[in-house]
Structures are given as structure tokens and as C-alpha cells.
Structure 1
Amino acid sequence: MNKNKRFTDKMHFWGSVWSISALAVLYCVPLIFSLYYNVFPQFSVLLKALAAVIPIYWGTAIVEVITYTPMLGAGGTYLSFVTGNIANLKLPCAMNAMNRADVKATSEEGEVISTIAIGASAITTTVIIAVGVLAFLPVIPYITAEGSVIKPAFEFVIPALFGALGASYFAKYWKLSILPILIGVIVYIFVPSLPVGTMLFVTIVVSLLGAFGMYKLKWIKE
């Protein structure tokens, strides 16, 4: 118990340190550019621009923390929010790793595996992106040009990724998958402009309520 508590305390300490450090670096970038070029935006103009987007991002940020933390664990959450690209990469990697190890997200084993998977994902992504940028830099203008026959394929990368990752879960937990997919389709039919972060929260809540209802009705065992 004491070892687990010390591990958790250290995780929260270093997670807080690196989260604050990442925020400081992000804020320093525009500040350094402003100081170097001696160009500072007018506060009234900046505030007016931020007023239009801050409510959206604050809502999304709150929803993402509430949604992702139970699935990723403390260590995975800190790593994910510092390195970014959670929904597209970190979350699928963590869930797939825990599924392969046959552990639950809320268990101590699940938290450790989630943290390792997300850390490995972040390192691998950084290396692959660096190599890919250097290798494809000469040909990128040609394959992404308006007349390129390959360009339309880039619009389907994320759907293809999630389709491949989701197919195994849908097949394994098909009873739990029907309700959130159905609700998601219906919501997007009537509210097609709904932000992805909000839709993610809606479908997760529906999944939880649906799973609880099916468990109470004894349609599923666990």
C-alpha cells in the first residue's frame, strides 16, 4: 500500500511539473517572437479574438479531462495531455494495449500498461514523424497538390484508422456498440455541426448508461 501511494504521489508530482513546464514553453513561444520582432498585439484586439474561441476550448478541455482520465489513468493522462493527439493516437494505443494484456483501465495494472503504451507511442510518433518529414519533404508538394490523384486519400486517414481500431471492439462488444453508434448517427443527422469533442462526450455517456442498463437487465454479464 505504501509503495503504491508513493508511486501515485510521484506520478502526480512529476505529471504536474511537466504539465506546467509544457504550458510555460507554449506561452514562451509567442512571447519570444513578440520580443524578437518587437511586435505586440493590441490587448483589445487579442481579447476580442479570444472571446470567440475560448468558450469552445474551455468546454472541450473540461469534457476531455472528464472523459479521458478514467480510461487512461493518472500517468497516461499527464503524458497524453503533454504530448497531445489523444483521440487520434494516444487513446487507441492505450486501449489496445490494455485489451491485449486483458486488464481493466481502472486497475493498477491497467494504469501502468496505459502509461507505458502512451509513452512508447509518443516516442515512436516523434521518431517516425521526424524521419517521415525528412524523407517526404521533396515530394510532399507533388502528392498534396490540387491535381494530385493521391490527395483525396489524405481526407480518409483518420476514419480508416478509427475504423480499423474500432472494428475489433465492435465485434467483441457488439451489444454495447449498437446504442452509442446509433445515437451518434442520429445526433449528427440533426446537428451535423456538433464539435467532435462534444460528440465524444455524448457517445461515452450513452455507452455508460447503455452498459449499466444492459447489466441491470442481465443482457450482459460484465
Structure 2
Amino acid sequence: MTTAAPDLEALHRNYSKTTYLWGNITMVACLLLATAVPFYLYFSTDLGIEVSHIVTAFIAVAAVYGVFWVVEPVTYFPILGPAGMYQAFMIGNISNKLVPSAIVAQSTIGAEPGTRKASYSATAAICGAAVVHVLSMLVLVGLLGTWLVSITPEPITEVARLYILPAILGGVTVQLIATLNQVRATIIALVVSAVVVLLIVPFSPPLVKSFATAIAVIATIVITWYARDRKVRSSSDTAHIN
């Protein structure tokens, strides 16, 4: 007796349909909850909050961080995939926790970013990262937080604050470079980053400095696009990506 092979395309279509349906529902729900507080205070309290205050605060934040509304989704999507994107923007700590987890998982199983295999592995990695994060928060912060802070010498705390995150991001960057094996794009990214860090940031007004990361990302994307290999990919390459 033989068992019929599953229709992988049908399974993937059903998976994608479910992902987009519930992803959009949860994103809208989170948006409403996240933006409800100022309006709740406006309509339910006598704190003197005016609509002009809310609008002014929104414009002030959007002027600095608005560019990341476009840059972050474009940057993260090839690595995380659709389901991973919904997870990531609900959980947070994307660049320093979820993207590194996805990259490690993809590198371990040999999945190339942009493929279905990479998307599935990123989703599983994000689930694992979220579980570890929540459990560690419960133990190290919820149960032992105050005690650990009281016994930790201040120099150690300062070193951890200054160097742990750069060390994590640096290690992830090196691993991503080795995994993708894109020499041309890597050189362009390094040159653009050096120009931004060494020339633009030190000699620019504060407003421009606030957009330093966005400038580096957008410039790298644009230059890499125009410097790409314009040879037509073979059908086998196209099939591998799809």
C-alpha cells in the first residue's frame, strides 16, 4: 500500500493564506492598542492633553524615526520572510535578537535568505528566541533582577551596557557576510558604512545624524542595485530561488 505524497504547493499556499490573514489581524489589533493610550487620556482624563499635543508629539517622533518604517521592513524581509516579519514586529528586539536567531538557524541548515526554507527556519528560530527570552526574563529579571543588580559591581555593569550589544551585532554581521558570500555587496556596505560613520556623522548637524543608519542602508541598497551582475540568471537558479 502506497501513501500519496502531499501537495507541497497546496500546503504552502494554505500556510501563506493563513499567515497573511492572521498576521494582518494581529498587526491591526496591536496598532490600535499601541496608539490608544493618548486618545484614552484625551477623552477620559482631565490632564489638559490637547489634540495639538498628540499631533506635535507624533510629528516629532516621525521626523526622526519615520524613515525606519520603510527601511526596516525592506531590510528584514529577505531574512525573516512573511511569517517572521509579523512575529518580529510584534515581539520586538528585532536587530539584536530575532534577526541573529534567524541567521544562525539558516546558516546551520544551509538555507539561503529569500527561499521558503529560510522563511520556515526563521519562523521556528523566532519562536525559540521568544521562548528563551521570556523564560530568562522571568528568572533573571522577575525573580533575581533586584538581587543581581545589587551584587554586580558597577564597572561590570558599565562594560556590559557598552559592549554586549555591539559584540552581538558584530558577530551576526560577520556570520551573515560568510553565509551570503556576496563579495561585491559586502565591500559596498563596508565602504558606505565607513563614509557615514567617519565623514557624515562627525561633520553633520544633529538632524542628519539621526538619519545616519537610514542613509547607510538606503545608500547601500541603491549602489548595490546599480552595481549588480546584470547577467540573466539561468532557469535552474530561478527555480532554486522559488
**TM-score, normalising length from structure 2?**
0.75
Corresponding residue for residue 50 of structure 2: 42
Deviation at 1:187, TM superposition (A): 1.8
Alignment match of 1:122 (pick from 126, 130, 150): 130
> Does the residue aligned with 1:138 lie in a helix, a strand or coil?
helix
Show the counterpart of 2:96: 88
Deviation digits for residues 24-67 of structure 1 (CA, Å, limit 9, x no counterpart)? 22234455566775435112223223222223333211121122
- The residue aligned with 1:179 is 188
- Does the 8 Å contact 2:106/2:121 carry over to 1? yes
Q: Is residue 125 of structure 2 the alignment partner of residue 136 of structure 1?
A: no
Which letter maps to 2:137?
A: I
Say yes or no: does 1:199 pair with 2:241.
Answer: no
Segments of 5+ residues of structure 1 without an aligned counterpart are 217-221
Residue 66 of structure 1, aligned match among 69, 74, 77 = 74
Matching residue's letter, 2:50: Q
Number of equivalenced pairs: 212
- C-alpha distance 197-143 of structure 1, shift in aligned 2 (>3 A): farther
Structure 2 residue aligned with 1:27, among 23, 35, 38? 35
Alpha-carbon distance between aligned partners in 2 of 1:9 and 1:22, rounded to the nearest angstrom: 20
Which of 147, 151, 155 is matched with 1:149 structurally? 155
Aligned residue number for residue 159 of structure 1: 166
- Quick check: 1:67–1:204 contact (8 Å CA) kept in 2? no
Superposed CA RMSD: 2.8
Structure whose alpha-carbon radius of gyration is higher: 2
Aligned to 1:78: 86
In 1, the alpha carbon distance for the partners of 2:87 and 2:127 equals 7
TM-score (norm 1): 0.81
CA contact (8 A) 2:193 2:216 kept: yes
Structure 1 pair 156/171, CA: closer, same or farther in 2 (3 Å)? same
Give unpaired runs (5+ residues) of structure 2: 1-8, 202-208, 232-236, 238-242
Aligned to 1:190: 199
> Percent identity, aligned pairs only?
21
CA pair 65-171 structure 1, distance change in 2 beyond 3 A: closer
